[in-house]
Amino acid sequence: MKSAVEQLSTYKSVHLNPNNIRTHFIGVPMIIWSAFLMLGTLRVAWQDYQISLAMVVTVVVLAYYMMLHVRLALGLVLFILPVLYTTELVVHSEHPFVIAISIFVIGWVIQFVGHKYEKAKPAFMDDLNQLLIGPFFLMAELYFIFGWEKNLEAEIKPIARDKRRALEAKLRG
């Protein structure tokens, strides 16, 4: 498994433009929320409880984040649990798929607008695992804004810039 530094520096290498990062703070949560809503419609009964695929994914993804970086994962717990809760409320509405698909599409449009600012393709185009790193990256960026995890930020930025230069050289050459 790649380390948090490796994962974050790869993601950061195509997220250096502040406008792109701003769009991601809107688009990524929309995509996550809508994906959780879609997953929440897939349910199985267990004893007296209903367990959704969103609940299972929450546990698996948070465990993955914990393995990468515990402090960032704790921030993601604070983000994902309200997402899970609110999607559980909406999953029982009349048209949860229409709501989910609409928000999903809008979230991706916002993402791709951000990458127009960046002039680089999204990280997941080369590595699908980067889809999981998007929320992890945004939590890291939020921590950096608050002045937390300065050592992590100092480690990631130069690697990301080097990766970006290599990518640009590859595209030119």
Summarised one tens digit per residue, pLDDT across range 86-101 is 999 999 999 999 999 9
Confidence band of 104 (pLDDT split at 50, 70, 90): very high
One-letter amino acid identity for 4?
A: A
One-letter amino acid identity for 160?
A: A
What is the DSSP code string of 137-149? HHHHHHHHHTT--
Burial bucket for residue 41 (CB in 10 Å: 0-12, 13-18, 19+)? middle
- For residues 87 and 1, the model is more confident at 87
Residue 129 has pLDDT above 90, yes or no: no
Q: What is the pLDDT of residues 20-51, one digit of tens each?
A: 999 999 999 999 999 999 999 999 988 888 89
One-letter amino acid identity for 70?
A: V
What three-state secondary structure class fits 52? strand
Token pair for residue 127?
């590595």
Q: Which residues pair with 50 in a beta bridge?
A: 45
Please report where in the chains the tokens 């948070």 appear, as a residue.
Answer: 62
Q: What is the predicted pLDDT for the residue at 11?
A: 94
Task: Please answer whether residues 5 and 156 qualify as being in contact, where contact means their C-beta atoms are separated by less than 8 angstroms.
Answer: yes
